[in-house]
Amino acid sequence: QGCAQKYIVKNYFYYYLFKFSAALGEEIFYITFLPFTYWNIDHSVSRRMIIIWSIVMYIGQVSKDILKWPRPLSPPVVKLELRTDAEYGMPSTHAMAATAISFSFLTATMNQYEYPFELGLVAAFVFSMLVCLSRLYTGMHTVLDVIGGALISAVLLMLLYPAWDMIDHLLLTSPFCPLLSIVVPLVLCYNYPKLDYYSPTRGDTTTILGAGAGATVGFWLNNQYAAPAYTGENLQLGIPLITSKIVVVVLARFFVGIFVVLLTRQLMKSVVLGMLGYRYKFPIGDLEARRRLEVEVPYKFITYSSVGFSATVIVPLLHKLLGLM
């Protein structure tokens, strides 16, 4: 672990295609695409995707550390990534997330927007397949890991789909939603399966649940106080011609929102780590200290719950202030 093998790239098209596809299952994609759907497409679609993503990813991460199936041996496999090498392999959470996000987006939009269902189905399939194949190309998973992840995600989607509307209604209207949205994920994070060595799975799970918790509180707060929805210049999937005005508004919302989200993440990370460092007497740059349960869980949960809350409450208010609604 931690030592990269030397390799020669013989086909740069496949290399960059699958390196890019692998990024579609990582934080850079989640922190851009999920907020984009909330700001520019549809609130209900975004809510469903975020909830499904949180549930699917939690189950996938926990399953890895319960099953403890190793990743492909290297050699003979050449691994193009190092950070996730400390994690177990089965199931592939990249495959789970790609399947969950693409097909939940399809099922949430197919009855609300006018577009060819076959086209949406092909797009969802291609997206999930690219991410799945990227995990084989980068040497991080076996075929069984990827198939297992995609199948688990598909089963979870089928089980959750009949309850989508009920869950969405409860999240928006229940007076207990804010409390449960914070307490339940925190309990799950603090009771994450213990391993004999450090793995980033607990930290990644805390990041996901924290972002989902903050966003869920934001959904509830917006509904309670009738925050305006993006009804004026939303991206309508059935419109054949997107006007330049809509493009400008969409891009403005996106870049303003991403700036606020990234700023929130950086500020909260510095503040929370500083407070925890003072409390537990360690320098902020001490990586080993930051991996301890009493540090990692609150640091990541508070940071990313702030990100989720900022994306769903602060950014829309700023959009309204700037006349982007």
Active site residues: 94, 141
Q: What does the alpha-carbon distance between residue 121 and residue 127 come to, in Å, rounded to a whole number?
A: 10
The CA-based diameter of the chain, rounded to the nearest angstrom, is 59
Q: What does the alpha-carbon distance between residue 120 and residue 103 come to, in Å, rounded to a whole number?
A: 9
Question: Which residues have CB under 8 Å from 133's CB, separation 6+?
Answer: 18, 21
Q: What does the alpha-carbon distance between residue 206 and residue 183 come to, in Å, rounded to a whole number?
A: 13
Q: What does the alpha-carbon distance between residue 238 and residue 294 come to, in Å, rounded to a whole number?
A: 49
The long-range contacts involving 46-50, CB below 8 angstroms and separated by at least 24 positions, are 47/168, 47/171, 47/219, 48/104, 48/108, 48/164, 48/168, 49/101, 49/104, 49/105, 49/108, 50/211, 50/212, 50/215, 50/216
